[in-house]
A and B are shown apart, each in its own frame.
Chain A
Amino acid sequence: MSCEETQEQVSLLIDAELEEPHQVALFRHLEGCCECRLFFDSMLRFSKAAKRDLEEIRLVADDILPLHGPLPVSVRAAGDGANSLPMHPSGLTGRRSHRRASEDAVGALPDRRSGWGWKRWTGLLAGGWRMPAPVAIGLALVLLVAGALVGTRISTIAGGGGPMGRDGRVVKPTVVVVCSLPEVQVLGSASRL
């Protein structure tokens, strides 16, 4: 086998396109040919360096390429939903971590905003405001207690009864509920009628 043929086969071997029977003859030639070994070594070093070069450029690319590119607004919006990435005010991405880059390399991330998780539910409870679950639950309880208290007093007053004061007059309690979401204040006061 000539050096020309050998080097052609080296090229195929690096691309994983050389069939096994040919590989035996190739390596036999390489054992005794310094020039072809040098070519083989050179191409292996090139492949290795190219992989490293690729990784470095991809990291730099994350910094300089716009998140969505010069695309129509509808596509930009779709992109926001597609990977939930924060949009820098300048329209450019910031440096992301290696993990982030590798995730992007294999595909876009799932839409984290599309689920009906606890945040969505607590958001609804709070009338559209986002707030932590404990605050939302506490708020709901306060509203419940305040509602029950008002209902009780109203029924008491409507029934003609009510607590008697020391002077024998009926005390009409007034519960003022000031509801200003997301903060609720229950102001209780009793006025003597």
Chain B
Amino acid sequence: MRTDADLAGAFKDGDDRAFAILYDRYKRSLYVFALKMLSEADAANDIVQDVFLRVYEKRRQLDYPERFRSWVFAIARNRCLSHLRQSRKRVPLDEAPDEAITVAASADGIEAEEDLRLIRLALAELKIEYREVLVLREYQDLSYREIAEITETTESAVKSKIFKARRALHETLKPAFAGRR
């Protein structure tokens, strides 16, 4: 399998096929990121299309093909922040995020379903600066270095922010979790 760096290098040199593979490889991850950032399914879909259009148009600006993942997530983050600035919209805690997903009953049981529901709500309630690092870390499994590149900060700042995000999340979840121990 060709690496991202190979594909990104080929794409920069004009290989559209490489770009199509990168699109297929990243569209879901970017959708997850945008959905968690915005809590709006339609907006997340639009962001993904917009990001790839920009990536295609700005291919010449891809100086480090080996950092394609950070680059594409940085574009997605900027688009999400821009969208949030325009909409100035926050999701109330008593309103479920618009994720167009029905949590199906599974072997994990009702408790796991309840955990999932609570966590979605709690995450949507977090400050955006906390939410973005937590989503990049927990959902995208990115390293501190990659998150630092995406959010244009230092690794130690990322480490600190992830911790604060977890503390804030814990404070929201504590009453529910403590009651079900």
Which positions in A face B, CB cutoff 8 Å? 7-8, 10-12, 14-15, 17, 38-39, 41-43, 45-50, 52-54, 56-58, 60-62, 64-66, 68-72, 74-79, 81-83, 101, 104-108
Q: How many angstroms from the CA of A1 to the CA of B52 in the assembled complex?
A: 47
Tell me if B76 is interfacial: C-beta within 8 Å of chain A: no
Q: Which of A7, A45, A48, A66 has the most CB of B within 10 A?
A: A45
In the assembled complex, 16 residue pairs joining A and B whose CB atoms fall closer than 8 Å, in A order, are A7-B167, A12-B159, A60-B100, A66-B49, A68-B23, A69-B53, A70-B53, A71-B52, A75-B56, A76-B20, A78-B15, A78-B19, A79-B23, A81-B20, A108-B21, A108-B25
When distances are taken between beta carbons in the complex, the residues of chain B under 8 Å from A69 are 23, 27, 48-49, 52-53
State which of B65-73, B85-93, B113-121 sits at the interface with chain A: B113-121
Q: Is the beta-carbon distance between B163 and A11 smaller than 8 angstroms?
A: yes
Q: Is the beta-carbon distance between A8 and B21 smaller than 8 angstroms?
A: no
When distances are taken between beta carbons in the complex, the residues of chain B under 8 Å from A74 are 16
When distances are taken between beta carbons in the complex, the residues of chain A under 8 Å from B137 are 15
Q: Which residue of B lies closest to A9 (CB)?
A: B163
Known A-B contacts A50-B138, A69-B49; A11 and B25 likewise in contact (beta carbons under 8 Å): no
Q: Is the beta-carbon distance between B24 and A45 smaller than 8 angstroms?
A: no
14 further contact pairs, Cβ within 8 A, besides A42-B177, A46-B138, A58-B32: A42-B170, A43-B170, A53-B116, A65-B48, A68-B20, A69-B27, A69-B49, A71-B23, A75-B16, A76-B20, A77-B16, A78-B15, A79-B20, A82-B17
Q: How many angstroms from the CA of A42 to the CA of B166 in the assembled complex?
A: 9
Q: Which residue of A lies closest to B42 (CB)?
A: A64
Q: How many angstroms from the CA of A60 to the CA of B100 in the assembled complex?
A: 8
Q: Is the beta-carbon distance between A52 and B28 smaller than 8 angstroms?
A: no
Contact with A along B146-181 (1 / 0, CB 8 A): 000000000000010011001101100110011001
Tell me if B130 is interfacial: C-beta within 8 Å of chain A: no
Q: Is the beta-carbon distance between B31 and A46 smaller than 8 angstroms?
A: no
